[in-house]
Structure 1
């Protein structure tokens, strides 16, 4: 499925809060996994457009990061689906409500604004870009935490983060265009050995804007953990010379006014130098709570404490659902997360409107049918 839920093109690059530049939103969902997407669905049914943010560049959360192609058997009414298929179905389900997705970002700050709203700083995972939101409600569906890239530890490398070094980048013109402006035929080194790294080099090889680029896939050994179909395509690109594979372990960088090369040790233990204009690092992802620990929300064993009638945290207007929450009798199942997301979304709607929510059914409600874009039976 093509991703039509885009981050707005306008971005704020300063870390200082400026209310005139902050975007006002009714509901922000932190975490765009299955539970977050279902919260967006429930909010959309009630006429509230949700913004979702996630550290991953696409929606899906654990379903994409941990078991994209593994079977799931416990979704009601669906005998079998993969994590990728479930994420695609949920994304299709929320399309009628036009949610706004902020991918490859995490909430760096969550602070009270003083008027009942929450001041939210969204920061890009792979650089320094920042934007601010003023959210009336926040629903935290962060699962086991934000899936953030594992770092490549080389002295001085972080100085080029966001300009020449990127972790798990999406193919976003906002950062590709400056790259191509500096280097019309850049030498791009993709470091990693799993499926994400292989997919990245295959996508880059077919990207219209990168046809003149030199592509290098770098890994510590000449074995890659990816499906056979992807490995066959990689072999074809290697044979044709479109992709170069370099076997070695990075040791240092060469840099002056810009990053120029990577020093590495090859399979024979010899020191080598690899020219590099862009370094894309794919060393896998690991979940971390990160800034969430600093949001002054009640935690127990790194899980948010919620009231089970509303799934509100100890902060007014902030709700939570899914694996990130804990309460007596909690079961860590997607099914439980869907229920919690529903309860949190309905409570958020009542908070926004200041009145009890009228219960309607998608089977019979003309208003819900209109929001879903389906015809109402006579």
Structure 2
């Protein structure tokens, strides 16, 4: 028989069918009934059982040893930090300085043992207000694990808060995990990093992603400079891979000036663009203001906080109008009939609390939304009515027949 005939009569090959997850488990461990808890070197490689996180917990076998279980959590008697299969490096993770960072395998660490890094370029306010954050939290909660490990570094000693690690990369993911469950096992890459290395890694992680708010970046950069991690704006700009030194200098100026004015702390700073932050920075430093006018203008800005919070995209116009009205009033050009007595604004640990303003012998009392959860409106109403009755006034609700 010729070679050609042999090729023609050869039976066709059957196409291989993709294995399902259960079949992969059977190939690795035998039948499903034979699957047993694994420990130590017996743990499968990540590509052997894709998509199955390794957790430490009760697996149903006696002794409660380690097992393949996506939902389990560590009990009080078990070690909280566990090794996990090393995930493939992303391009961002691979972008490291010459010599590389010291790294180890990934670990599962309870969320409550990881604290936020003081140089994070996203504040908690900005994270929680991000419209995409609920979606991220829900995704993590449904899957029971992170799609990508965060980066942490070990603390020199356990903190007073019980934390043993400090998050460097992944503040959004860590925040979501803590809200889901303080004991949530967070897959983490533990790396030995200096503050400068960590800041550079954080900046590299943000490339190609949504930029952190201007205010948040300015705060982080100002701290890095003030605490000597970098000696100058020029050095910081180069180390973080920023394009424009002047932009970095402006963001740092905004943070330093605005942070020096305690009254501005209640404003939604993380949601403001560059122009309104520049205006607030000038007010905080008393730019173009007569001596003694700065404090009064600061109060005028605090009074429009609710408007700024509702429409942060109009913050520039709102602040400019407040400045213009203030200067017109001071120069005597304001309409005398429309003048109002200066409102009194009261603040508490919850933010802006109470504003009292009077016009044409009328008193206006405003309890702000920042304390809505702390105030019983009925109780406040009863107090006011009792006060008026004590003055000899018989008060009843309009339209009431009582």
Task: Give TM class, smaller chain.
Answer: under 0.3
1 or 2 for the larger relative contact order (CA 8 Å, sep ≥6)?
1
Q: Which has the larger radius of gyration?
A: 2
Scaled by the length of structure 1, the TM-score of the pair is 0.24
More strand by share: 1
* TM-score between the two structures when normalised by the length of structure 2: 0.23
